[in-house]
Structure 1
Amino acid sequence: MHVVVNAATSVDGKLASRRRTQLKISGPEDFDRVDRVRAAADGVMVGVGTVLADDPRLALDVEDRRVERLKNGRPGNPARVVADSTARTPPDARILDDAATTYLLVSEAAPEERVEALRERGGVVVVAGDDRVDLPGAFERLESRGLDRLMVEGGGELIFSLFEADLVDELSVYVGSMVVGGRDAPTLADGEGFVEAFPRLTLEAVDRLDDGVVLSYTVE
């Protein structure tokens, strides 16, 4: 599976403020770029923290892109994927509407009643791992279901876990012209952090959009 991480950060690397509510960092030009990246993917992934904070729908914004996907024999919207070790996704979350298939990646530790509630809402539950989601194992199962290209939109805990598991192929970061600050504000890659064997990236392109820049990397 080819994994593309896409995120928008402030100049100081923050995804949101310490309140962890959605923050408008980029503008219309970057929104359109993100929609194009989504349209090229088989699935769009977030962590459960993003679902709880923002209640995203993760569907395409431009109708012509949905139509083009349908013409090519693909679903109108890419599948949605949530990394959710203990099945905390609310059953009424927008990500569980009928716009696309939604995969919930959970661990064996997820309470059965929560898992069943997600299944009743139409979610496809993928169990991988004991106490937390085993991402490599879960990705193998997603790939067997036809997801060959996955776009990851955050948050920081999930992005760090993907780098830690050596699962990231590309990284695109929109850096907006603002400072957020705060030691408790989420960053691009949270988690425990690396102290050695730091992932190395190769800068492939720098593009100015809106009042910021998109940095495009491949992962070595």
Structure 2
Amino acid sequence: MSASRPYVTLISEMTVDGKLTLKRGLSSKIIMGLMDMESQRFLHKKRTEFDAIMVGSNTIKIDNSILTNRLVEGRSPVRVVPCSDASIPPGSNVLNHDAPTIIVVSGRASPEKVEAIRQKGAEVMVCGKEAVDLELMMEGLTKRGIKRLMVEGGPTLIWLLIQKHMIDHIILIQIPYIIGGDSTPSLVGGPGVDSIGQVVGTDLTDFYKVGNHLITEYDIIYEPNGK
């Protein structure tokens, strides 16, 4: 982990076969409805342990996520959404006043859309020219006092962060159901690796049960072949 970025933990719920929803384009809130209350509280308790929580803009557009703690005692983290063109819908829940929000855009975002976000009370952070520069974004978050960052999705953002060696720890909440589907989104998207020499390794650090759900924790090993 670099001193110029927060410690990043990916926390996600997924089915036994690694699926995030029923079909591509559908909200992940559908399968979250299969989580028992104890596991939902576990997820919300985890949110209170981080300075900020981040999801990609496509997740916001599909799920209209709130990204706050609503089930346990404790504060809600700062909400962070990378959105290069500032196309996040103005009615998005993350633009409400339940918690501070930072929308990260690039230089190509239209001034009108940026101003509309600011009018909602969110901070806009410009990082990069054509697309959000993840390194600049992490530096900016660090300067704002964010030391621990939780990432909840989506698959494309997770892939980009892994490619940049920007995820340090993973906590998976396994929902005890199977969905299947050739094109159903799984935890990590993107183009994937081209050879066995490019795979990213993990080290299992803990496993335990919460409610009816298996929780597994891993450190990521950014070495050839995960060794």
- Separation of aligned partners in 1, 2:114 and 2:183: 30
Greater shift in the superposed pair: 55-64 or 30-39:
55-64
Q: CA–CA distance in 2 between the matches of 1:171 and 1:83?
A: 20
Q: Hey, what's the Cα distance between the residues in 2 that align with 1:118 and 1:65?
A: 27
- Name the amino acid aligned to 2:11: N
Residues 73-127 of structure 1: per-residue CA shift (max 9 Å, x gap): xxxx210000111112111211111122100111122222211111111111111
Give matches, 1:124-143, under 5 Å.
124-143=123-142
**Are 1:4 and 2:9 matched, yes or no?**
yes
Provide the secondary structure at the position in 2 that maps to 1:12. coil
Q: 2:51 aligns with which of 17, 32, 42?
A: 42
Distance 1:100 1:172, change over 3 A: same
Who is 2:3 aligned against? Answer: none
Contact 1:41/1:150 (8 A) holds in 2:
yes
Give SS of 1:180's match.
Answer: coil
Structure 1 gap ranges (5+): 67-76
Scaled by the length of structure 2, the TM-score of the pair is: 0.87
Highest RCO, 1 vs 2 (Cα 8 Å, sep ≥ 6): 1
1:122, 1:212 → 2: CA distance? 37
Does the aligned pair in 1 maintain the 2:159–2:188 contact within 8 Å?
Answer: yes
Query: Any conservation in 1 of the 2:81–2:104 contact (CA below 8 Å)?
Result: yes
Q: Percent identity?
A: 31
Q: 1:26 touches 1:174 (CA, 8 Å); kept in 2?
A: no
Kindly indicate whether the alpha-carbon contact (under 8 Å) linking 2:54 and 2:150 is maintained by their aligned counterparts in 1: yes
| 2:201 matched residue in structure 1 | 200
Map 1:1-220 to 2 at 5 A.
1-18=6-23, 19-21=25-27, 22-23=29-30, 24=32, 25-62=34-71, 64-66=73-75, 77-195=76-194, 196-220=197-221
Q: TM-score if structure 1 supplies the norm length?
A: 0.90
Provide the rounded CA distance (Å) in 2 between the counterparts of 1:167 and 1:215.
Answer: 19
Contact 2:38 2:211 in 1 (8 A): yes
Give the corresponding residue for 1:69.
Answer: none
Q: 1:93 to 1:188 in 2, by over 3 A?
A: same
Q: In 2, Cα distance between the equivalents of 1:10 and 1:168? A: 21
Q: Distance in 1 between matches of 2:91 and 2:45?
A: 27
Q: Distance in 2 between matches of 1:52 and 1:193?
A: 23
Residues matched between the structures, number: 210
Deviation at 1:63, TM superposition (A): 5.5
Secondary structure of residue in 1 paired with 2:73: helix
CA distance, structure 2, for counterparts of residue 59 and residue 177 of structure 1: 25
RMSD between superposed Cα atoms in Å: 1.4
